[in-house]
Every structure is written in structure tokens, then in C-alpha cells.
Structure 1
Amino acid sequence: MRLQARSWLAAALLAAAGTASAGITVDYVKPDEFMDMPRSQQDRERVLKEVTRHFNDLAKDLPAGQELKVTVTDIDLAGREEPRRWAIDDIRIMRGGADWPTMKLSYTLEQGGQVLRSGEETLKNMMYQQRINRYSSGDPLRYEKQMIEDWFQKAILGSQVSQK
């Protein structure tokens, strides 16, 4: 009986934690028209899926009960995609000049149906190759992730008042 009571208690705690967790919704408006995305449909989908996953990872730091809604209207990845003469796929060349990553988005941060913060932003990582980056050099979106994380820390978490 004791074991069953512990199981019920554990299940109740898990259910409570699930309903109290922060969440995020990420939408993309006309992603096929974004300024700089891979040409292949499969690679474009991979980029959007990875960007969404990164937003989801960051949203784990939101205080319980808060919901962030992000609408991405444009993405320009770091570097430029250039065709390779005898290859099927293209290669992304990063020269560190005016080829920095940018992203246009709008966002709304809510809690209990009340808007805490909202706005439109153009994210930029102009010094992307000169900064220390905690993401792996093997991560093709390491500069974009750094840019998104910088924005998230400053705009979303920066002036948070803990409501626990």
C-alpha cells in the first residue's frame, strides 16, 4: 500500500509540474520568402526545426505560468550560401564581414492572460566571428543560437520579476 501511495504522489507531482511549466509558441510567416535560407526544402525544414528547438530550450528558463509567443518574419543566416561546381549541395561561406545573422520577429510574453511584455525586434549578431560562442563549432546554427539567446536573456528574462 505504501508503494502505491508513493506512486500516486509521484504522479500527482509530475502532473502539477507539467501544468505549472513555462511554454512557448513559435510561428513562421512565409518562411519560403525568408531572406537567406538553404535552397533545398529538407535543409530549410531542418533550420526551422532547429531554431524552434532552440527557442523551446530557452523557454525552460521562463517562470512558471508564463507563455511566450514568437512570430518570426525573416531569417538571414550567418554567411552566404554558394553553389559548389560538382556537388549536389551548396556550401555556406562565412567571411565575417557584412554577412552576420539577423532575424526579424515579434513577441508577446503573457501570464494568466495578461500581457507582461511585447514588441517587434530585429536581432543581429554583427560580430559573430569575433565573440566567444558556447555552441559547438560543429553546430551549423551556432551564431544564430547565440544571437537568439542574447535577445532572450536581455529582452525576456532581463527585467523579469520573479513571480514564484
Structure 2
Amino acid sequence: MRLQPRTWLAAALLAAAGAASAGVTVNYEKPDEFIDMPRSLHERDQVLREMTRHFDKLAKDLPPGQELKITVTDIDLAGREEPRRWAMDDIRIMRGGADWPTLKLSYTLEENGRVIRMDTEGLKNMMYQQRINRYSSGDALRYEKQMIDDWFQKSVMGAQVSQR
């Protein structure tokens, strides 16, 4: 079957855009030793998958040719997990005190193979319950995502301005 010229052109443009798109690589260093993760292996994996998806979503804002490499070395989720005697799973209680989310990571931002920014940072969202949050109350990682968004805008996207 022969492709129509418009179909061929659209396919070529999509392939070129995909090849030139920005990306992210996320690694979790010793996740079993993170300060605060769910006890259930399934729930821990779910947290890491969701965080990786969030980093992927943010990386779509990077200019073509840029690659972000992130190594997460510690996670402390918002609130505290407390066991329930009558249930199989634990419940996360958020009191708004010293139970804010934190994340430790190191990252490298490259453009066409050249390092344009590299740093290690400790993220925290101390006012996590007092801020307006664009993520729904049903999103279990809404406070962590808000914290990661702030970091991404300041440290990664802010580096775009200083490098150009």
C-alpha cells in the first residue's frame, strides 16, 4: 500500500520530533533504605513508578536535545504511616507539623551530550498543607509532586535561562 504524500510527511515529522525530543532517566539508589516508604512492597513500587511518571511528564518541557538524569537517594513522604490493627494496610496521617515531604536527589542536565548543569539537592515542602495545590486530594503524592514541580521550575528550567 502506497502512502499519500500528506501521510508520509506527517509520519516523517512525527519521527523527527520523537528523535529530537527531550528525555529523563530516573534511578533510585537503595530504595529499601529510604526514610519513609510504605511497608508493602507493592505500594513502594507504586510510589516509585508514580514518581518516575511525574519526572517523565516534567521532562516533556525540556528543549529538544536535552536529557535530564536524576538519581534519587532518599524519600520521606508527607505525613506518617500508622498501622491499623483491624486492616491489612496502614494509613498515612498528615498533621501538618514536622511531617513535611522531603526528597534527596542528584541530577545532571545535558544538552547534546554536554553537561550544562549538575547538582545535588535536598527538596522539602515545609508548608505543604498551607499552599494551594493543583493536584487533586485523591492523588496520594500530591504534596511530593508539588515539591518536585517547584524544584524542576527553579533548578532545571531556571538553568535554561542562565545557559542561553
- Give your verdict on TM over 0.5: yes
- Deviation string, structure 1 residues 95-135 (Cα, Å, up to 9, x no partner): 00000000000000001111000000000000000000000
- 2:66 corresponding residue in structure 1: 66
- 2:100 corresponding residue in structure 1: 100
Structure 1 Cα separation of the partners of residues 130 and 57 of structure 2: 25
Alignment of 1:12-161 (within 5 A): 12-161=12-161
> How far 1:162 sits from its partner (Å)?
9.5
**Uncovered stretches (5+) of structure 1, i.e. residues with no partner:** none
Structure 2 Cα separation of the partners of residues 73 and 163 of structure 1: 27
Q: Percent identity?
A: 79
State the SS of the aligned residue for 1:158.
helix
- Deviation string, structure 1 residues 4-50 (Cα, Å, up to 9, x no partner): 11111111001000011110000000101100000000000000000
| Conserved 8 A contact 1:36-1:75 | yes
Cα 1:162–1:123 change in 2 (3 A) is closer
State TM-score, norm by structure 2.
0.96
State TM-score, norm by structure 1.
0.96
| Conserved 8 A contact 2:117-2:159 | no
**Uncovered stretches (5+) of structure 2, i.e. residues with no partner:** none
Count of residue pairs brought into register by the alignment: 164
Structure 1 Cα separation of the partners of residues 13 and 162 of structure 2: 22
Structure 1 Cα separation of the partners of residues 130 and 70 of structure 2: 28
Structure 1 Cα separation of the partners of residues 19 and 3 of structure 2: 25
> What one-letter code is carried by the residue in structure 2 that aligns with 1:73?
T
